[in-house]
Structure 1
Amino acid sequence: MASKPHKPFTGKHMAAILVAGFGVVMCVNFYMASRAVSGFHGTVVENSYIASQNFNDWLDKADASKALGWQAHITRDEAEYVTVTASGVPVSAMLTAELRRPIGEREYASLTFEPMGEGRYRSSEPVAQGRWTMRLFIEADGKSWAEESELPR
Structure 2
Amino acid sequence: MTVRRRSTGEFTGRHMLIITLTFFGVIIAVNMTMATLARSSWTGLVVQNSYVASQQFNRKAEEGRAQAALHWQGRLTVADGVVRYTLLDAAGKPVLPTSVKVAFRHPASDAEDRTIELMPEPGGAFSARQAVRDGAWIVEVDADIGRTSPYRQVQRVFVRNGAIQ
TM-score range, shorter chain: 0.7 to 0.9
Q: TM-score, normalised by structure 2?
A: 0.69
Shift of residue 41, structure 1, vs aligned partner: 5.6
User: Are the structure 2 counterparts of residues 84 and 23 from structure 1 closer, same or farther at C-alpha, using a change threshold of 3 Å?
Assistant: same
Q: Residue 50 of structure 2 is aligned with which of 24, 48, 51? A: 48
Report 1:96-111 matches (<5 A): 96-103=101-108, 106-111=111-116
SS at match of 2:47: coil
SS at match of 1:76: strand
Report 1:57-136 matches (<5 A): 57-78=59-80, 80-88=81-89, 90-103=95-108, 106-123=111-128, 125-131=129-135, 132-136=137-141
Report 1:134-149 matches (<5 A): 134-142=139-147, 144-149=150-155
1:85-120: CA deviations, max 9, x gaps?
221153244211222333467023222222223332
Q: Is the 8 A contact 1:74 1:151 kept in 2?
A: no
Unaligned runs of at least 5 residues, structure 1: none
In the alignment, what sits opposite 1:9?
Answer: 12
| Distance across 2 between alignment mates of 1:53 and 1:9 | 66
Shift of residue 135, structure 1, vs aligned partner: 0.8
Q: Is the 8 A contact 1:98 1:108 kept in 2?
A: yes
Aligned residue pair count: 148
Unaligned runs of at least 5 residues, structure 2: none
SS at match of 1:50: helix
Q: Is the 8 A contact 2:97 2:143 kept in 1?
A: no
Structure 1 stretch 88-97 or stretch 19-28: which is displaced more?
A: 88-97
Q: Which has the higher contact order (CA 8 A, sep 6+)?
A: 1
Identity of aligned residues (%): 25
Shift of residue 138, structure 1, vs aligned partner: 1.3
SS at match of 1:117: coil
One-letter amino acid of the structure 2 residue matched with residue 138 of structure 1? A
Q: Is the 8 A contact 1:71 1:86 kept in 2?
A: yes
Q: Is the 8 A contact 2:42 2:110 kept in 1?
A: no
SS at match of 2:131: coil
